[in-house]
A = this chain, B = another copy of it.
Amino acid sequence: MKFYAGLRPWSCVLIVIFTTSVAGAADLPSWNDGLAKTTITDFVSRVTKVGGPDFVPPDERIAAFDNDGTLWTEQPVYFQGAFALDRVKALASQHPEWKTKEPFKSVLVGDMQPLAATGQKGILEVIAVTHAGMTTEEFSKTVSDWIATAKHKRFDRPYVELVYQPMIELLQYLRANGFKTFIVSGGGIEFMRPWTNKVYGIPPEQVVGSSGVTKFEEGADGRPVLMKEAKIEFIDDGPGKPVGINRFIGRRPILAFGNSDGDQQMLEWTAAGSGPRFMAIVHHTDEKREYAYDRKSHVGKLDKAWDEATERGWTLVDMAKDWKVIYPFEKQ
């Protein structure tokens, strides 16, 4: 505070005012001109216009983004699923019993059918052995190591390179306009936090996701640890998303972006607030550059939320038409 007086504080104030209220096409270079882009920039212009009828104070500019299929690719399997299967393989030598025990036996020889056939039961078993029985710090390190080395088969690239360039630009554009950006994902909160800040500019405390129970204990060296238990605590999906938003953020977003039926209630919750609202869905229409799927997909099914979006005039982003590039590496 002391050094303020001599240093032309007004120029600083002016910069802040200008940079937080300027919405322009130049900010979203990977978006084609069209309805989706215009709807976004119009909304941002309205809520940031000081004295305008739709002005929203920066403090209340809460933006919620689904992750899988909205900020990064989710096909052919959720990336956290790929992580879990890689961990089963890595841990197999410590579990000789898996050679004869389903669903592990089949997973180890690359046959996913028996796992899929068990439904939630088998998946929870896999989650239990790959996401629990270790401290939160150990798990975080396991995720960081995996994300730095594992590659998506089709693209032969690390998973964090399969984020959507237009959405990265949108996150930056919103933050430059005073928004606080949050992830609200069905994915595991501790699976996302080790890398979201670096990849999306979203710090751990702005990541909402599904979680397992953790327990405070004394560790082997006497230091306290948080042990991850094989027990689901919270599923941040479908009707769980508004619950997670209320629990973690404690206020209602004015903007929400999803891509599947798992995001429908988050979009409804966002829409139900008063004042200006923006709800959007990424529609995966680009088989060539990414994937094309909607009503019949096992991963990221978009059916009821699509109907509701159409009926209520929410923004539909057509990946093939609206995005100049999908991934950051396409720019190079």
Q: Chain A: residues with CB nearer than 8 A to chain B?
A: 1-4, 7-9, 11-12, 14-15, 18-19, 22, 24, 26, 59, 62, 136, 176, 180, 182, 189-190, 193, 197, 203-207, 211, 214-216, 223-224, 226, 239-240, 242-243, 246-251, 265, 268-269, 272
Contacts and interface: CB of A to CB of B under 8 A. Distances in A.
Contact of A15 (B4, B216, B268): B4
Given A12-B15, A216-B240, 5 more contacts: A2-B24, A7-B14, A189-B247, A204-B249, A216-B239
Contacts of A182: 205
What are the nearest 5 A-B pairs in CB distance? A204-B250, A216-B239, A3-B18, A12-B12, A193-B250
Given A223-B272, A251-B204, A272-B223, A136 B8 contact: no
Identify whether the interface residues of A are mostly helix, strand, loop, or mixed. Answer: helix
A19 B214 CA distance: 39
A7 B15 contact: yes
A226 B250 CA distance: 12
A258 to B, nearest CB: 15
Contacts of A205: 62, 180, 182, 205-206, 248-251
A243 to B, nearest CB: 5
6 contacts: A2-B24, A3-B14, A3-B19, A204-B249, A224-B242, A226-B242
A225 to B, nearest CB: 8
Contacts of A268: 224
Given A1-B19, A203-B59, A243 B214 contact: yes
Contacts of A250: 189-190, 193, 204-205, 207
Nearest to A214: B243
